[in-house]
Amino acid sequence: RLKEGAAINVSLSALGNVIAALSEKKRGHVPYRDSKLTRLLQDSLGGNSVTVMLCNASPAAVNAEETLSALRFAERAKRIENVATINRDPKAARAAALYEENKVLQAKVARLEAHIAELEKWYG
């Protein structure tokens, strides 16, 4: 149990380091590889996603230190700002552009055919 508790504390410490690095205005190296937990949460914390983090606070005086620590952690996590980008496949974007161009050209062909039919009716 002691080893398991120590491993959990190491993972939580690494998570704190990642959140501290992400909450800085000037981002440098973010140590995601320091633990399995931060590696699993990499896309959620610093990626292109919306993440919700809950902080548990206890009103008991016995847990005051843990509650204060959790609130400090939540304050750091609240300062993380990610810039989301739309994940688009360049081929799909090109296909959509070609589809729109095709629709415009089909409408133009239909207008020209109608105009030709009108001219043939007058001069034909």
Global pTM?
0.58
- Alpha-carbon torsion (95, 97, 103, 106), positive or negative: negative
Whether the predicted pLDDT of 87 surpasses 80 = no
Q: Express as a percent the part of the chain with pLDDT over 90.
A: 31
Render pLDDT for 89-112 as a digit per residue (tens, 0 to 9). 889 989 999 999 999 999 999 999
Q: Tokens standing for 17? A: 């380091």
pLDDT band at 49, cuts 50/70/90? Answer: confident
Q: Is the pLDDT of residue 47 over 80?
A: no
